[in-house]
C-alpha cells in the first residue's frame, strides 16, 4: 500500500490562490452533504456517534416538556450535515488535516428542519512546520440555512496541508508510544466517563455562575475503532462501490490501492487503518477533527442545560488522537457579562490526553437564562 506523494510547489499555490472567493456547492452524488434533514433518526445517529445521551436530543416525551416543544439537534450536528473543514482541494497527493473550526451559532436546529449548505473558499496561508516543513493552510466559510432561508450557523474551518514524504522524514511522532493502561487506570477512566453530568431541565442561571468555575469534564476514551466507526456512521457516511469508483476516477489522489487485494481505498482510511496512517508518519489510526470538536460541543451543552444556548464554539486541533488515547474535555469560566440584552458567559475549553498534552484548545460563549428576565 503506497499513497501518492506530491509536493507543494509555487505553481500549485498560485493556482490555489486563484480560486479564493469561489464557492463549493455540496453534492449528494459524491463527496458532499451527508444529512439534509435533521430527522429524528439522523439526530439520534449523530448523538450515538459522539456518545451524547442528552434526552433533549433523543427522548420525544422529555423534549415536548422543554421550551422547544420538540426534539432539537445538538449544535455540532451540522458536522453531520456537511463536514466543513476548509478542505477545498487543489493539492492532490498532499495530505490535508482538519485543523480547526470557529462556529457562530445563531438558531436552534429543530427536528425535521431541512438544511442547505454553501461553502466559500476564503484564504490560503503558507507556513513552516516542525512536523512537515513547508505547509499550507486553507480556509473556508460555510453557511447553514434552514427551510425558511434563516441562517442557522456559520463556521470558518481550516485544514493544514503537508507533504507526506516530508512528514515522514521529520519523524515528529516517531517516539510517541501507544497508550498503555493498568487495570486500575482503565477503571478510573471508565468511572470518569460515567461521571458525566447533564444539566438538562435544571436551569443554569447566569447569576449563579462565577468566573473561575470549572466544568465537569466529559471524558472520551480510550479511543477505539468502534468509536471512530460510530462517528462515521452518524456524521460522515461513506461512498461505496460504483459511487466511490466514479469519484476516484475523477479524483485519483483521493484513493490508493491495497497491494494485497487490489481494492481501491479512500485516503480517509488514515482514520481507521494503522498502516495507512503510518504512511503519513502518524503512529496509528486517529479520530476525525470534527469528532473531537463535537466532544467539546458535548461538554458545553452538558453544562449549559436546556434553557441556555451555545453561541460560539472555537476549537483548534493541535495533536493527533490515536487509537488507545483518552481525552479529558475540560472548561473554565473566564468572563460573564451582559451584551445586546443577552446574559453571556465566556469559557476556555480544551481537550487533554493521558500524556498531559493539550490536543484541542479552544473557547466558547454561552447564553444563559437570567433570574431577572
Q: Tell me the C-alpha distance between 306 and 161, whole Å.
A: 39
- Look over the chain and give the mean of its residue pLDDT values, rounded to a whole number: 91
- Cell numbers placing 344: 453571556
Whether the per-residue pLDDT at 114 is higher than 60: the answer is yes
Instruction: Say how far apart CA 223 and CA 352 lie, in whole Å.
Output: 13
Q: Which fold has domain 10-367?
A: Thiol Ester Dehydrase; Chain A (3.10.129)
Return the domain boundaries, the chain. 10-367
157 vs 260 pLDDT, higher one: 157
Contact 333, 273 (CB under 8 A): no
Look at residue 169 in the predicted model and tell me its pLDDT: 55
177 has which bridge partners?
A: none
What's the pTM value of the predicted model, to 2 decimals?
Answer: 0.94
**Rounded Cα gap, residues 44 and 49, in angstroms:** 9
pLDDT tens figures, 235-270: 999 888 998 898 889 888 778 888 888 899 888 888
User: Residue 267 and residue 342: Cα distance in Å, rounded?
Assistant: 45
Contact present, 301 and 75 (Cβ < 8 Å): yes
**26 has pLDDT over 80:** no
- Tens of pLDDT along 306-349? 999 999 999 999 999 999 999 999 999 999 999 999 999 999 99
All three cell numbers of 184, joined, read 486500575
Give me the pLDDT at residue 277, please.
79
- How sure is the predictor about 85, in pLDDT bands with cuts at 50, 70 and 90? confident
Q: What pLDDT, on the 0 to 100 scale, is given for residue 132?
A: 67
91 vs 135, higher pLDDT: 135
Contact 296, 360 (CB under 8 A): yes
**If pLDDT is split at 50, 70 and 90, which confidence band does 274 have?**
confident
DSSP state of 134: E
**Cβ(298)–Cβ(329) below 8 Å:** yes
pLDDT in tens, 284-299: 899 999 999 999 999 9
Taking a C-beta distance cutoff of 8 angstroms, is the pair 339, 347 a contact? no
Distances (CA, A) of 190 to 178, 182, 301: 19, 12, 21
Amino acid at each position: 500500500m503506497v499513497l501518492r506523494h506530491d509536493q507543494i510547489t509555487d505553481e500549485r499555490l498560485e493556482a490555489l490562490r486563484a480560486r479564493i472567493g469561489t464557492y463549493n456547492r455540496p453534492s449528494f452524488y459524491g463527496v458532499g452533504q451527508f444529512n439534509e434533514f435533521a430527522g429524528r433518526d439522523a439526530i439520534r445517529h449523530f448523538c450515538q456517534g459522539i456518545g451524547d445521551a442528552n434526552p433533549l436530543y433523543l427522548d420525544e416525551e422529555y423534549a415536548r416538556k422543554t421550551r422547544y416543544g420538540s426534539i432539537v439537534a445538538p449544535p455540532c450536528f451540522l458536522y453531520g450535515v456537511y463536514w466543513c473543514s476548509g478542505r477545498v482541494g487543489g493539492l492532490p497527493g498532499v495530505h490535508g488535516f482538519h485543523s480547526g473550526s470557529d462556529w457562530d451559532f445563531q438558531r436552534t436546529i429543530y427536528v425535521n428542519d431541512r438544511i442547505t449548505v454553501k461553502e466559500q473558499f476564503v484564504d490560503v496561508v503558507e507556513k513552516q512546520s516542525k512536523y512537515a516543513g513547508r505547509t499550507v493552510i486553507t480556509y473556508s466559510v460555510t453557511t447553514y440555512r434552514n427551510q425558511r432561508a434563516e441562517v442557522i450557523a456559520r463556521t470558518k474551518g481550516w485544514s493544514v496541508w503537508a507533504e507526506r514524504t516530508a512528514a515522514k522524514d521529520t519523524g515528529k511522532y516517531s517516539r510517541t508510544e501507544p497508550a498503555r493502561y493498568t487495570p486500575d487506570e482503565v477503571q478510573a477512566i471508565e468511572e470518569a466517563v460515567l461521571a458525566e453530568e447533564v444539566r438538562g431541565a435544571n436551569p443554569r442561571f447566569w447569576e449563579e455562575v462565577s468566573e473561575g468555575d470549572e466544568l465537569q469534564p466529559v471524558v472520551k476514551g480510550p479511543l477505539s475503532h468502534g468509536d471512530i466507526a460510530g462517528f462515521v456512521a452518524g456524521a460522515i457516511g461513506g461512498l461505496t462501490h460504483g459511487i466511490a469508483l466514479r469519484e476516484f476516477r475523477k479524483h485519483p489522489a483521493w484513493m490508493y490501492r491495497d497491494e494485497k487485494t487490489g481494492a481501491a481505498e479512500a485516503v480517509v482510511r488514515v482514520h481507521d487503518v494503522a498502516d495507512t496512517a503510518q504512511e503519513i508518519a502518524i503512529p496509528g489510526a486517529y479520530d476525525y477533527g470534527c469528532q473531537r470538536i463535537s466532544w467539546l460541543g458535548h461538554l458545553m451543552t452538558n453544562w449549559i442545560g436546556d434553557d441556555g444556548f451555545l453561541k460560539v464554539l472555537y476549537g483548534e486541533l493541535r495533536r493527533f488522537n490515536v487509537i488507545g488515547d483518552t481525552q479529558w474535555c475540560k472548561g473554565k469560566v473566564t468572563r460573564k457579562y451582559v451584551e445586546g440584552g443577552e446574559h453571556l458567559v465566556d469559557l476556555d475549553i480544551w481537550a487533554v490526553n493521558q500524556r498531559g498534552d493539550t490536543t484541542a484548545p479552544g473557547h466558547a460563549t454561552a447564553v444563559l437564562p437570567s433570574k431577572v428576565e
